[in-house]
């Protein structure tokens, strides 16, 4: 099921021409289990990190891991202007819990942030790395497992279909 979702709209000729024209390694656009799961893992990892230009961080990660770059870049956008305040507050609270600090009463004003940046920076990034690593690994293994399960179900379904055809003959 999952494999079919990603492979459904695969336009080989246009993609091949694009790859050849811009000399892009094929692994960065390939649609297979390893490439997709790695792309989701990298995208979610960078999506949890509070920093500007998260998509550039994904691109700079490409030499170290072979993954589907468009999937990773799209996944980074799970942290968007609507979700960021909730994510970062959750990360800050988790960081204060992990460090054993008391959390501050947060006010959404520039003055408050400018005066308390030093107090929230370390707890925020401790919580950030906790969630970035934990969630990206959970998503990696979950999607990997779902992909394998989907392929096995598809094979069983095809086998049953073939057996029915043999019985009807």
pLDDT at 10: 54
* pLDDT the model gives residue 3: 60
In the numeric block, which tokens belong to residue 29?
């656009």
Residue-level pLDDT at 30 = 74
Q: Render pLDDT for 105-116 as a digit per residue (tens, 0 to 9).
A: 877 778 887 888
Q: For residues 147 and 145, what is the distance between their CA atoms, to the nearest angstrom?
A: 5
pLDDT in tens, 108-152: 778 887 888 888 889 999 999 999 999 999 999 999 999 999 999
Predicted confidence at residue 21, as pLDDT, reads 74
Q: What is the per-residue pLDDT across 64-84, written as a single tens digit (0 to 9) for each?
A: 888 988 899 999 998 888 988
Residue 82's domain spans which residues? 2-168
**Minimal CA–CA distance to 28: which of 63, 67, 58?**
67
Q: Could you list the beta-strand ranges (E) of 15-117.
A: none
> How many domains does the chain fold into?
1
Whether 4 has a pLDDT exceeding 70, the answer reads: no
- Tokens 């649609």: give the residue: 31
**Sign of the CA dihedral with 17 first, then 20, 24, and 30 last:** positive
Instruction: Report how far residue 92's alpha carbon sits from residue 145's, in angstroms, rounded to the nearest whole number.
Output: 31
Cα 139 from Cα 42, distance rounded (Å)? 10
- Contact (Cβ atoms closer than 8 angstroms) between residue 68 and residue 35: yes
Average pLDDT, the chain: 85
Q: In the predicted model, is pLDDT for residue 5 greater than 70?
A: no
Give pLDDT, residue 105.
81
Contact criterion met (CB below 8 Å) for 54 and 76? yes
Check pLDDT > 70 for residue 153: yes
pTM as predicted = 0.79
pLDDT tens, position by position, 20-57: 776 766 677 777 888 899 999 999 999 999 988 999 99
CA angle 149, 135, 153 (to 5 degrees): 5
């Amino acid at each position: 099921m999952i494999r079919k979702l990603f492979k459904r709209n695969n336009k080989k000729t246009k993609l091949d021409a694009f790859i050849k024209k811009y000399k892009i390694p094929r692994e960065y656009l390939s649609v297979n289990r390893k490439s997709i799961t790695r792309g989701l893992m990298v995208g979610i990892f960078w999506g949890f990190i509070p920093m500007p230009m998260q998509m550039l961080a994904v691109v700079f990660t490409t030499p170290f891991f072979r993954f589907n770059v468009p999937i990773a870049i799209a996944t980074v956008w799970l942290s968007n202007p609507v979700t960021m305040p909730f994510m970062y507050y959750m990360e800050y609270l988790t960081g204060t819990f992990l460090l054993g600090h008391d959390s501050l009463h947060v006010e959404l004003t520039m003055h408050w942030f400018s005066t308390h940046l030093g107090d929230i920076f370390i707890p925020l990034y401790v919580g950030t790395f906790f969630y970035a690593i934990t969630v990206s690994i959970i998503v990696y293994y979950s999607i990997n497992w779902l992909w394998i399960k989907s392929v096995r179900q598809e094979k069983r379904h095809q086998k049953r279909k073939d057996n029915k055809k043999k019985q009807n003959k």
